Amino acid sequence: MIVRFWEARVVDGRLDEVIAWARTVLLPAAMDAGAFGVEVVSSPADAPTKNPPRVVVLMRFASDRGFEEPAIDTTIVDRAHAWNFFAA
């Protein structure tokens, strides 16, 4: 099993938009590519640690299919990246 971990650092004030994009664009794209489970989680900005708001999407695939996330609007994210974890 492969768990693809996608994370975005969100522009301040745009968290709801990134969550909506993840639910309406990324989640269906992953399911169409064969994911058998997708979770979207988020966290607000944390002022004491100066961490920006974030959205994380965990996508579970039976095998590595080379899934590439759809492009996201760069006006609502500061940085987005993804990598695979392999079940041990």
Domain ranges of the chain: 2-65+76-86
Q: What is the band of 37 on the pLDDT scale with cuts at 50, 70, 90?
A: very high
Q: Rounded distance, CA 45 to CA 47, Å?
A: 6
pLDDT at residue 8 above 90?
Answer: yes
pLDDT at residue 54 above 80?
Answer: yes
Give the mean model confidence (pLDDT) for residues 21-38: 97
CATH number of 2-65+76-86: 3.30.70.100
Q: What is the band of 72 on the pLDDT scale with cuts at 50, 70, 90?
A: very high
Q: Rounded distance, CA 66 to CA 82, Å?
A: 12
